[in-house]
């Protein structure tokens, strides 16, 4: 009498993604991809020789990999209606831990465990202590940055050999950074669009009260988003440490806000439950091409900060309007 007829789950990615209506939640991404296409066309026309050169593209992949990782992590937090300012500090901390004078099999797990702990504290503070996410993660950011500097006061130390190998050079003819990017993006898209966790994350970000009243463990979902973000930051730290072959206690400082910028440029709203990792891919590429283009055009790198600020305001206002149906 009760229960619904069991329908065998259909296999196939397309079927799942349709069910998840993922394009729907990614409507903002269309605008980001259009912008991106325009930027590629612009660079292709103005500096075709240099922009499409193998050197430039592989540099781009190597430079963008960390931003990809943290922006994708940040996307999870934003979808859950949170905000994670501490990712920059977590990158620095993991770089500091990874260059400690310890055996590799010991310090690598420690680095990730430390990051997960930071994520747990962030989530616990925001969800259970009800501290505003910006304040909470600002506080942990300061604490974590302090620990990073205590462990590694000045750049130096020796990176684990395994990371150096994984983060430099090429593999099968392609820059290794590209593999990091593809792996992280695939994992994020799977989590958000393929699993029940993803649907519950959207629901929680939209309306935590309704989510709870529907039987979703909303508090836990929100904490998990912070943990994922921190772990992605630790991965970014691992990549950077490997690439530099040594540690730097300030290596992540610029990436904290950039991670938000990447997600927001891709159409993820700060209000939660709208957007997703596919848009973030476009968002990060926009930042990357912008930096790259300004470099190739011999513009002072300091203008990049100006442009990024302008982009952030533009994106937030544009996507807000789109969401409001204006």
What is the binding site for other proteins (CB under 8 A)? Answer: 1-4, 7, 9-10, 15-16, 18-21, 24-25, 191, 193-200, 202-203, 206-207, 209-217, 224, 273-274, 323
Q: Minimum distance between the CB of residue 19 and other proteins, rounded to whole angstroms?
A: 5
Instruction: Report the 10 Å Cβ neighbour count for 31.
Output: 18
Min dist CB 315 to other proteins, Å, is 18
- Residue placing its CB nearer to other proteins in the complex, 51 or 76: 76
**Is the distance from CB of 70 to CB of 49 less than 8 angstroms?**
no
Residue closer to other proteins (CB basis): 186 or 310: 186
DSSP sequence for 30-54 = HHHHHHHHHHHHHHHHHSHHHHTSH
- Cβ partners under 8 Å of residue 185, min gap 6: 68, 72, 277, 281
Decide whether 110 or 199 has the Cβ nearer to other proteins. 199
The distance of closest approach from Cβ of residue 304 to other proteins in the complex, given in angstroms and rounded to an integer, is 33
What's the closest the beta carbon of residue 215 comes to other proteins, in angstroms? 4
State the residue for tokens 């903002």: 28
Distance in Å from the first CA to the final CA of the chain: 47
**What is the DSSP secondary structure assignment for residue 153, as one 8-state letter?**
S
> If we measure between CA atoms, which residue out of 182, 187, 169, 167 comes closest to residue 73?
187
Question: 10 Å Cβ neighbour count for 69?
Answer: 31
**Considering beta carbons, is residue 158 or 199 the nearer one to other proteins?**
199
Nearer of residues 175 and 272 to other proteins, judged by Cβ: 272
Measured in whole angstroms, how far is the alpha carbon of residue 157 from the centre of its chain?
A: 26
Q: Give the pair of three-digit tokens for residue 272.
A: 């939660």
Residues 6+ apart with CB under 8 A from 148: 89, 92, 93, 95, 96, 249
Q: Which residues contact 134 (CB under 8 A, 6 or more apart)?
A: 83, 85
Count the Cβ atoms, other than its own, within 10 Å of residue 325: 5
Least CB distance from residue 138 to other proteins, whole Å?
Answer: 25
Q: How far is the CB of 131 from other proteins (least distance, A)?
A: 22
Nearest-approach distance from CB 70 to other proteins, in angstroms? 22
Residue 209 or 298 having the CB closest to other proteins = 209
Q: How far is the CB of 303 from other proteins (least distance, A)?
A: 36
Question: Which CB sits closer to other proteins, 202 or 239?
Answer: 202
Q: Which is nearer to other proteins, 7 or 129 (CB)?
A: 7
């Amino acid at each position: 009498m009760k229960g619904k007829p069991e329908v065998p789950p259909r296999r196939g990615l397309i079927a799942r993604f349709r069910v998840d209506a993922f394009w729907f939640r990614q409507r903002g991404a269309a605008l980001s991809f259009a912008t991106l296409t325009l930027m590629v066309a612009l660079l292709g026309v103005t500096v075709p020789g240099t922009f499409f050169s193998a050197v430039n593209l592989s540099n781009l992949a190597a430079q963008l990999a960390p931003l990809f990782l943290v922006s994708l992590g940040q996307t999870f937090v934003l979808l859950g209606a949170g905000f994670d300012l501490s990712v920059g500090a977590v990158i620095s901390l993991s770089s500091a831990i990874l260059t400690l004078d310890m055996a590799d099999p010991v310090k690598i797990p420690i680095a990730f465990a430390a990051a997960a702990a930071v994520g747990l504290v962030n989530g616990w503070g925001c969800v259970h202590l009800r501290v505003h996410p910006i304040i909470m993660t600002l506080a942990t950011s300061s604490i974590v940055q302090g620990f990073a500097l205590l462990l590694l006061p000045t750049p130096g130390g020796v990176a684990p050999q395994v990371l150096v190998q994984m983060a430099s050079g090429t593999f099968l003819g392609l820059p290794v950074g590209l593999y990091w990017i593809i792996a992280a993006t695939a994992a994020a898209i799977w989590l958000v669009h393929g699993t029940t966790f993803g649907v519950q994350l959207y629901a929680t970000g939209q309306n935590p009260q309704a989510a709870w009243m529907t039987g979703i463990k909303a508090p836990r979902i929100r904490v998990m988003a912070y943990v994922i973000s921190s772990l992605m930051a630790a991965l970014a730290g691992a990549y950077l440490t490997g690439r530099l072959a040594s540690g730097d206690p300030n290596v992540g400082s610029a990436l904290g806000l950039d991670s938000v910028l990447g997600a927001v440029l891709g159409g993820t709203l700060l209000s939660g439950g709208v957007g997703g990792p596919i848009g973030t891919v476009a968002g990060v590429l926009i930042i990357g091409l912008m930096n790259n283009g300004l470099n190739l055009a011999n513009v002072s790198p300091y203008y990049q900060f100006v442009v990024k600020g302008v982009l952030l305001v533009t994106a937030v206002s544009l996507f807000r309007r789109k969401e409001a149906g204006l």
